[in-house]
Amino acid sequence: MAEEILGIDVGGSGIKGAPVNVQTGELTGERLRIKTPQPATPEAMTDTMAEIAKHFNWKGKIGVGFPAVVKQGTMYTAANVDPSWIGTNGQALIEKKTGCPVSIINDADAAGLAELRFGAGKGKMGSVMMITLGTGIGVGYYVDGRLVPNTELGHLIVDGKDIETRASAGVREKKDLSWKKWGKLLTEYFQELERLLWPDLFIIGGGVSDEFDKLAPYIEIQTPIVPAQMLNLAGIVGAALAAEGEIGRKRGVKDA
Ligand code: BGC
């Protein structure tokens, strides 16, 4: 029987969850979205995650995609959530509140796993960059299908400033940037990524993925660039996929 895992995608504005069939990448229940509590502290946010698990009456594995550097369950950064997340073991906290085994990885890393398995990056070898444009800018980087975790290239300094503070979808909304202006900023950013890493494919995720044709004419780069196919579900599905292989296994540097 196909394994089902509860995928939870944590964002700066919403926390979304649904059970996922990890063989097919399909949701087996309707997605639930709850507003990210403010302040976005570990206690408040993990209460929301537990509420999602309770809603689905969940007893099995849970995979979480979280907007920070995550190593062995612990957060090392907190760009768009409360700084008290730094040093917190999110995995242990969610396990305590849900009673379920939990695996937690970076949100963009998770979204790319789903696109590589089922979406715009299916079967792609070489180096693929999944870029999520949301409250922040997230990057998942894959080489021949394998994830290089926690790259945090959404904080690249372009023109003297952290690019996330100039070109995220959140900033675009706040400043009401036109497609042309946003495209110009993103072009600068993608060109910098090209100059340093020479990827073979960019996949663009986040809300813009379903109106990518409006942005595309203003992106001037040499690397092929395509919108994510799983739209706003990639984060949930990818979080579940990551949990499939990770629960019960330790992450990080291992002895040979
Ligand atoms: C965080 C990343 C995250 C991205 C997208 C950034 O602010 O530093 O870890 O992947 O936002 O949510």
Ligand 1: distance of its center to the CA of 198 in Å?
21
Question: What is the best residue among 107, 139, 236 to mutate for testing ligand 1's pocket, by most ligand atoms within 8 Å of CB?
Answer: 107
Residues with CB under 6 A from ligand 1: 67-69, 77, 79-80, 106-108, 132, 134, 136-138, 152, 154, 164
237 CB burial (10 A radius; 0-12, 13-18, 19+): buried
Grade residue 253 by pLDDT with cuts at 50, 70 and 90.
Answer: low
Where residue 245 falls among pLDDT bands split at 50, 70, 90? confident
pLDDT in tens, 39-78: 999 999 999 999 999 999 999 999 999 999 999 999 999 9
pLDDT tens-place string over residues 218-238: 999 999 999 999 988 999 999
Enumerate domains of the chain plus CATH numbers: 4-109+233-255 (3.30.420.40), 123-229 (3.30.420.40)
Beta strands in 11-101 (DSSP E): 14-21, 26-27, 32-35, 62-66, 70-71, 74-75
Cβ–Cβ under 8 Å, residues 229 and 237: no
18 phi, psi to nearest 5 deg: -165, 150
Q: How many CA atoms lie within 13 A of 190 on its CB side?
A: 28
CA torsion 7-129-106-53 (nearest 10°) is -10
Q: How far is the CA of 240 from the centre of ligand 1 (A)?
A: 18
Dihedrals φ, ψ of 112, to 5°?
-65, -35
Going by alpha carbons, the residue nearest to atom 6 of ligand 1 is 136
Mean pLDDT of the chain: 95
pLDDT tens digits, one per residue of 147-159: 999 999 999 999 9
Cα(211)–Cα(172) distance, rounded to whole angstroms?
A: 14
Task: Tell me, in angstroms, the distance from the centre of ligand 1 to residue 167's CA.
Answer: 13
pTM of the model: 0.95
Structural tokens at position 167: 């070109």
Question: What confidence tens digit (pLDDT) does each residue in 168-221 have?
Answer: 999 999 999 999 999 999 999 999 999 999 999 999 999 999 999 999 999 999
Q: Which two tokens stand for residue 215?
A: 């942005």
Name the percent of the chain in helix, strand, coil, to the closest 5.
Answer: 40, 25, 35
State how far the alpha carbon of 236 is from the alpha carbons of 22, 158, 175, 202, in Å: 11, 30, 28, 20
d(CA 45, CA 94): 9
- The residue whose CB lies within 8 Å of the most ligand 1 atoms, and thus the one to mutate among 105, 106, 148, 168, is 106
Q: Inform me whether the pLDDT recorded for 254 exceeds 90.
A: no
